[in-house]
């Protein structure tokens, strides 16, 4: 018994020392548990916040608070004349994190890069299916296995990617989470220990924070990476307190139990703004909500009809009713935080009388149509049903009868793709990599008809522009092409663009250096917190 | 006695297979498929979709899938979550202690307060004390606990600031989960204040979860006591001049406890159902919340595995209660 | 035992006797009174409620109750985040709660009694199969089972009611079966069987009336439990869908305002509590009055 007491006292002492390192901790109340810690295997922002933006780096990185890229683990790169060969020069002396589960013996080199990608590209790679039931959905979705011909090691610090065709967004793709660079040495060790799944449980990379531990559905802990190649972090510890309920998150922030949180209830925003100890940062999210007409069916095959209908919708009323103002009316198919956003484009003004006249002129009488409303709440459209009801009322004013239909979500996604679909579909998109291509070609290009192109819209002029931009490396040139594409889009009006939702990040006034990320990440590198 | 236990077990096995069948077929009936939901707005090609469904084994005939499933259960394999790709059993093991800790605390509170309240009410039958206690018990029994939890948060966490809003322990404390029970782990960690932090986090959820069992136990104890107090041997004991305390404490209570023990056992189902609401309100990382999330995400393996495990626990506890009851009360042994 | 001392005055008719015992309990009478008020509220909702349940006044969002500063006499309990009168919504909500109770109880009583009668009469394999199925249903926590059922059927009030009815079923089946088993061997049943009475007659006319008392008590309990469970499902987003003024759904919608406007959260919950409490008080009274064996006070 005495022994036990002694032991307890000793461990109390030891832990007293351990907690004295508790100097500067940032607590982040996150919205959900990460699905895992291998960012290549998942698609949710929650997982990216917890795994890739903390522990890992990529060859190129997004600039803090921007959709533009900057050098990451590759300090420079060159692109061949024909745009198919990318050669990356790696940064020298980049250290992998030292943790209690693995101590790296070497710096980052080309092998790590090749390992990180090849596992996602080749079905016969030993790491292709190291988690049962897992798959590399993102690389697949971005078409990487088809796009990349080969990845070669030129020397220890030089890697060459050869593509099957030129692809300008490739650099932006490499800044995405699935392109995070893992340690091959660590992976080899796990393979030797027959414990490959640990790669998805205890991440180890080169990023600003070192993974310490995860208590399921409760807490994730990180420490600043002392050997980080970039800026020295201002905080010593980073804690994710997983708090799925939005009102509880708000409560905890107010009670000082966390410094920063995300996705507040729209209703709480005012109250949080009113709190003297808090600030609420906000920005348009990288998203769009739209109503896609089926442009293959009469009378929606006529641009003037679509344009007239667009004029009939009171978008501001939708934003007010659905978002209580926490969104902005959209005029372009890409959000305003994205480069090449064409601010000169004029939106179709809300004018029921003009809309009615235009419909009459187009010879449309007694039109009745269906509007599809999503059964779920999405970041870009919190309540599709309510929005659809408002549109129904708007359209009634110009003599168009609307029937609102809805299906179970998976069914909705599936059926809305059909080319012969009856009705206009409400849907939206959240961008992946901040490249306009990811909106314009992905959602409106000819080859997406029957898939992501819910308007079934194939316009020669538009498609030529975005396809050209896709293979052009020069950014200024691309910007021009995309701006022009937006003009064509507006003239043709395959969609009624509805809104870009606003992202709110409430935080304590003690926090400094946090930037709302247009890509929807929550990054804590270079963030500071006052004592 | 052995025959009694064996008889009970014999009933348990077909019931368990029935439970497995229900858990399994329910989830097949859920509209929408998880692969489609995972990809969301991002369109997945038909081939890719078919490939993943094939990899997950969802393309086989349902009957084959069920037989496969039973075979796997027999080996302790409940499949993997479609969302996290982790084995269902691992997730369950990681989260169950949180629910168990909360449930045990709740049942302890319910028993420690409920039995004395019932006894007092029975002894002081008809008095204002009886009426107050039983009135309170009926209010507790009628309580929508999700609302009750919200009120407690508003008052104690929001208004008074006495208790934390959610979580199991202050984030200041960090130690490995040795047992998964925060109260024990915090003591083992030896960190100063850790234990009291764990306790303060546990108070409100415990109160909320204990409310209904407490009411049920108090009511049950009172009626059982009344019945016993009316019986001849108690009257005899009283007339012999034994002190009321002895009568109530030793003679009556012991006999009255028999039905109460059953009632306590039957609260397990109530607790687990209550845990769903309590954990949702307090963001308590337990299996109740886990199940609700899985239902919303159409995570087939988690829903079916979770249903099976939870039903299994309830069945086993009920069996234990039955057997205990058989021991205490030999009359029901057939 | 207890009743012997209580029966000082013995009224004549069965109904009279029932009423005599029922009114002896103050709680039961209060419960009944409150319940009648709730029923009247539901029936005359359009007359009582000053506003329509879904009528929005966009200029008066989150108005506090009328007795507080900033309150408005026309909105007795204040308004919700989209400017609807909470009092009116609660009054209309009474309709849903009572409707839920009635539908769930009728469904589970009718089905439960029939299945229970069949199990009790048929015996043998039929009985075993039925009772095993009931065991299986009982093996799941009721709320979890209802939650999964609603997820399958799709979230709506109707589906929530069906799920709750199914979850309640085993109690009625067991109760009926147990009563049948005891009554079956009694003289009057054996007698009428010998006299040539047919099964259905035996089941419904001879035996059933004799099992009614515990069934009625159980039905009252199920009534209040159904209201609670439907509210819980609504709270989890799996019950009645907004903008239906169902009390649990109102709570779920109001939850985000917990820190700003206590009244939006407090009153719907209070309405649930009071209604359920009233029904349970009645249930206790009913039990005492109907079933002397169960008499507890």
> For residue range B8-58, what is the model confidence (pLDDT) as tens digits?
788 888 888 888 888 888 767 766 676 777 677 777 777 778 887 887 777
Does any domain span residue C59?
no
Q: Which tokens is A55 given?
A: 């522990």
User: Distance (Å, rounded) from C-alpha B82 to C-alpha B56?
Assistant: 9
Subunits next to B (3 or more Cβ pairs <8 Å) are A, C
pLDDT for res A15: 39
Q: How far is C260 from chain A (nearest CA, A)?
A: 7
Does any domain span residue C58?
no
User: Distance (Å, rounded) from C-alpha C63 to C-alpha C88?
Assistant: 14
Is the pLDDT reported for residue C11 higher than 70?
no
How many residues are present in chain B?
Answer: 334
Give CA separation, B231 vs A459, B124, B224, B242, B248, in Å: 91, 17, 11, 16, 12
Reduced to 3 states, what is the DSSP secondary structure of residue C268? helix
Residues of chain A predicted below pLDDT 50: 1-22
Determine contact, residues A215/A3, Cβ cutoff 8 Å: no
Does any domain span residue C1?
no
Q: How far is C251 from chain A (nearest CA, A)?
A: 13
pLDDT for res C236: 87
Q: How far is C114 from chain B (nearest CA, A)?
A: 22
Q: Does A271 contact C260 at a Cβ distance shorter than 8 Å?
A: yes
Say if strands A424-430 and A368-372 run parallel, antiparallel, or are unpaired.
Answer: parallel
- Nearest in space to B86 (alpha carbons), one of C130, A320, A38, C84: A38
Least confident residue range of B149-163, B226-240, B281-295, C132-146? B226-240
pLDDT for res B329: 66
pLDDT for res B30: 66
Give the CATH number for residue C237: 1.10.3720.10
Q: Does C255 contact A268 at a Cβ distance shorter than 8 Å?
A: no
Residues of B in contact with A200 (CB under 8 A): 85
Count how many Cα atoms sit within 13 Å of the Cα of residue B289 in the half-sphere of its side chain: 23
- Nearest in space to C56 (alpha carbons), one of C89, C34, C82: C82
Does any domain span residue C17?
no
Determine contact, residues A126/A187, Cβ cutoff 8 Å: no
pLDDT for res C58: 65
Give CA separation, A315 vs A321, A330, A336, A492, A499, in Å: 10, 8, 17, 19, 8
Domain extent for C28: 24-49+77-295
User: Distance (Å, rounded) from C-alpha A29 to C-alpha A245?
Assistant: 10
Q: In what order do the strands lie in the sheet with A158-163?
A: A74-79, A85-90, A158-163, A148-155
Query: From start to end of A455-521, where are the E strands?
Result: 495-508, 511-512
User: Distance (Å, rounded) from C-alpha C98 to C-alpha A393?
Assistant: 33
Number of separate domains in chain C: 1
Q: Does B38 contact A43 at a Cβ distance shorter than 8 Å?
A: yes
Is the pLDDT reported for residue C27 higher than 50?
yes
Subunits next to C (3 or more Cβ pairs <8 Å) are A, B
Residues of B in contact with A430 (CB under 8 A): 41
Span C238-281, pLDDT tens digits: 888 767 889 988 888 787 777 778 888 899 999 999 999 999 99
Q: Which tokens is C274 given?
A: 């009071």
Binding-site residues on chain A for chain C (CB distance < 8 A): 246-247, 250-251, 254, 265, 267-268, 271, 408
Residue of A nearest to C256 (CA): A247
Reduced to 3 states, what is the DSSP secondary structure of residue B91? helix
Is the ipTM here above 0.95?
no
Say if strands A25-30 and A260-261 run parallel, antiparallel, or are unpaired.
Answer: parallel
DSSP A243: -
pLDDT for res C95: 93
Q: What does the angle CA B185 – CA B186 – CA B191 come to, to the nearest 5 degrees? A: 130
C48 Cβ partners below 8 Å, 6+ apart?
A: C41, C91
Residue of C nearest to A320 (CA): C58
Count of Cβ atoms closer than 10 Å to residue A274 Cβ: 10
Q: Does C258 contact B153 at a Cβ distance shorter than 8 Å?
A: yes
Residue of A nearest to B45 (CA): A451
Does any domain span residue C187?
yes
Q: Does B191 contact A15 at a Cβ distance shorter than 8 Å?
A: yes
Residue among B222, B276, B295 minimizing CB distance to C151: B295
Span B168-187, pLDDT tens digits: 887 777 777 778 888 888 88
pLDDT for res C296: 40
pLDDT higher for A19 or C129?
C129
Position B245 confidence tier, pLDDT thresholds 50, 70, 90: low
Q: Does A267 contact C154 at a Cβ distance shorter than 8 Å?
A: no
Does any domain span residue C129?
yes
Does any domain span residue C236?
yes
Does any domain span residue C9?
no
Q: Please give, one letter per residue, the 3-state secondary structure of C61-110.
A: CCCCCCCCCCCCCCCCCCECCCCCEHHHHHHHHHHHHHHHHHHHHHHHHH
Residues of A in contact with C84 (CB under 8 A): none
Q: Does C297 contact B295 at a Cβ distance shorter than 8 Å?
A: no
Residue of B nearest to C155 (CA): B296
Q: Does B172 contact A243 at a Cβ distance shorter than 8 Å?
A: no
Binding-site residues on chain C for chain A (CB distance < 8 A): 81, 154, 255-260
């Amino acid at each position: 018994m005495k022994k036990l007491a002694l032991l307890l006292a000793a461990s109390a002492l030891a832990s007293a020392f351990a907690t004295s390192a508790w100097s500067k901790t940032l607590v982040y109340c996150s919205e959900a548990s990460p699905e895992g810690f291998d960012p290549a295997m998942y698609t949710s922002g929650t997982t990216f916040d917890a795994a890739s933006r903390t522990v890992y780096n990529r060859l190129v990185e997004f600039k803090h608070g921007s959709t533009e890229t900057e050098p990451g683990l590759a300090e420079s790169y060159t692109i061949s004349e024909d745009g198919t060969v990318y050669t990356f020069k790696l940064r020298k002396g980049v250290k992998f994190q030292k943790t209690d589960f693995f101590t790296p013996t070497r710096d980052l080199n080309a092998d790590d890069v090749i390992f990180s990608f090849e596992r996602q590209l080749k079905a016969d790679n030993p790491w292709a299916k190291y988690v049962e039931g897992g798959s590399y959905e993102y690389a697949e979705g971005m078409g990487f296995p088809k796009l990349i011909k080969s990845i070669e090691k030129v020397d220890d610090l030089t890697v060459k990617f050869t593509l099957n065709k030129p692809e300008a967004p490739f650099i932006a793709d490499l800044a995405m989470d699935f392109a995070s660079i893992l340690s091959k040495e660590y992976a080899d060790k796990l393979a030797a220990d027959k414990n490959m799944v640990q790669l998805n449980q205890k991440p180890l990379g080169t990023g600003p924070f070192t993974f310490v531990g995860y208590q399921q559905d409760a807490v994730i802990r990180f420490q600043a990476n002392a050997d980080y190649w970039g800026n020295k972090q201002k905080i010593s510890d980073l804690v994710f307190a997983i708090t799925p309920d939005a009102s509880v998150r708000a409560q905890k922030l107010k009670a000082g139990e966390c410094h920063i949180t995300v996705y507040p209830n729209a209703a709480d925003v005012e109250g949080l703004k009113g709190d003297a100890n808090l600030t609420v940062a906000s920005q348009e999210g990288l998203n769009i909500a739209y109503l896609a007409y089926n442009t293959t069916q009469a009378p929606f095959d006529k641009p003037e009809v679509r344009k007239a209908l667009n004029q009939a919708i009171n978008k501001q009323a939708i934003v007010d009713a659905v978002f209580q103002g926490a969104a902005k009316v959209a005029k372009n198919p890409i959000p305003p935080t994205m480069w090449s956003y064409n601010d000169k484009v004029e939106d179709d003004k809300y004018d029921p009388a003009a809309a009615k006249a235009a419909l009459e002129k187009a010879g449309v009488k007694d039109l009745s149509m269906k509007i599809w409303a999503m059964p779920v709440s999405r970041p870009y459209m919190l309540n599709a049903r309510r929005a659809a009801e408002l549109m129904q009322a708007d359209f009634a004013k110009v003599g168009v009868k609307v029937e609102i239909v809805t299906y179970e979500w998976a069914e909705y996604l599936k059926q809305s793709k059909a080319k012969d679909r009856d009705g206009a579909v409400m849907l939206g998109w959240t961008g992946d990599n901040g490249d306009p291509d990811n909106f314009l070609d992905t959602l409106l290009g000819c080859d997406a008809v029957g898939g992501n192109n819910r308007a079934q819209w194939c316009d020669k002029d538009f498609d030529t522009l975005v396809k050209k931009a896709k293979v052009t490396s020069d950014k200024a040139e691309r910007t021009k092409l995309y701006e022009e594409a937006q003009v064509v889009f507006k003239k043709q009006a395959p969609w009624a663009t509805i809104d870009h939702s606003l992202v709110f990040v409430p935080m304590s006034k003690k926090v400094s250096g946090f930037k709302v990320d247009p890509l929807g990440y929550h990054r804590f590198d270079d963030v500071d917190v006052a004592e | 006695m052995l025959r009694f236990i064996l008889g009970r077990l014999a009933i348990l096995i077909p019931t368990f297979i029935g439970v497995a069948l229900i858990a399994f077929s329910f989830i097949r009936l859920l509209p929408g498929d998880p692969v489609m939901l995972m990809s969301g707005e991002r369109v997945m090609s038909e081939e890719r979709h078919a490939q993943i469904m094939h990899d997950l084994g969802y393309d086989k005939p349902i009957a084959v899938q069920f037989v496969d499933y039973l075979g796997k259960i027999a080996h302790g394999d409940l499949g993997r979550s479609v969302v996290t790709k982790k084995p269902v059993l691992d997730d369950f093991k990681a989260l169950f202690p949180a629910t168990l800790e909360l449930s045990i605390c709740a049942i302890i509170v319910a028993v420690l307060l409920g039995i004395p309240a019932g006894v007092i009410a029975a002894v002081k039958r008809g008095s204002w004390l009886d009426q107050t206690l039983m009135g309170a018990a009926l209010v507790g029994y009628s309580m929508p606990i999700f609302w009750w939890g919200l009120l407690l948060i508003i008052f104690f966490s929001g208004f008074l600031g006495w208790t934390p809003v959610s979580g199991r322990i202050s984030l200041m404390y960090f130690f490995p989960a040795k047992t998964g029970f925060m109260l024990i782990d915090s003591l083992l960690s030896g960190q100063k204040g850790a234990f009291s932090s764990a306790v303060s986090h546990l108070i409100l959820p415990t109160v909320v979860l204990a409310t209904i069992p407490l009411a049920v136990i108090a009511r049950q104890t009172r009626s059982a006591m009344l019945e016993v107090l009316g019986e001849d041997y108690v009257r005899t004991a009283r007339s012999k001049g034994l002190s009321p305390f002895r009568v109530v404490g030793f003679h009556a209570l012991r006999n009255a406890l028999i039905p109460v023990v059953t009632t306590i056992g039957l609260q397990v189902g109530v607790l687990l159902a209550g845990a769903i609401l309590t954990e949702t309100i307090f963001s308590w990382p337990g299996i109740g919340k886990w199940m609700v999330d899985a239902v919303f995400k159409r995570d087939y393996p988690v829903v079916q595995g979770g249903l099976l495990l939870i039903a299994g626990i309830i069945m086993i506890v009920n069996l234990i209660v039955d057997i205990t009851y058989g021991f205490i009360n030999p009359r029901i042994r057939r | 035992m207890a009743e012997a001392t209580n029966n000082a005055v013995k009224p004549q008719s069965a109904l009279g006797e029932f009423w005599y015992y029922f009114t002896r309990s103050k709680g039961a009478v209060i419960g009944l009174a409150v319940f009648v008020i709730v029923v009247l509220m539901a029936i005359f909702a359009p007359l009582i409620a000053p506003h329509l349940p879904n009528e929005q006044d966009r200029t008066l969002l989150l108005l506090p109750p009328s007795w507080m500063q900033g309150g408005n006499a026309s909105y007795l309990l204040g308004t919700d985040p989209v400017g609807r009168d909470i009092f009116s919504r609660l009054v209309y909500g009474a309709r849903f709660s009572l409707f839920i109770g009635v539908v769930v109880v009728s469904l589970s009583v009718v089905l439960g009694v029939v299945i229970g009668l069949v199990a009790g009469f048929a015996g043998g394999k039929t009985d075993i199969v039925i009772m095993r199925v009931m065991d299986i249903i009982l093996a799941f926590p009721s709320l979890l089972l209802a939650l999964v059922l609603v997820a399958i059927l799709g979230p709506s009030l109707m589906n929530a009611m069906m799920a709750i009815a199914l979850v309640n079923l085993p109690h009625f089946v067991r109760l009926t079966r147990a009563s049948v088993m005891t009554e079956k061997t009694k003289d009057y049943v054996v007698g009428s069987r010998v006299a040539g009475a047919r099964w259905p007659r035996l089941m419904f006319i001879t035996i059933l009336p004799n099992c009614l008392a515990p069934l009625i008590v159980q039905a009252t309990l199920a009534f209040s439990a159904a209201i609670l469970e439907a509210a819980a499902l609504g709270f989890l987003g799996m019950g009645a869908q907004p903008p239906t003024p169902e009390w649990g759904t109102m709570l779920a919608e109001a939850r985000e305002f917990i820190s700003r406007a206590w009244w939006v959260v407090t009153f719907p919950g209070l309405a649930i509590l009071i209604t359920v409490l009233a029904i349970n008080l009645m249930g206790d009274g009913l039990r005492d009055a109907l079933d002397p064996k169960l008499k507890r006070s």
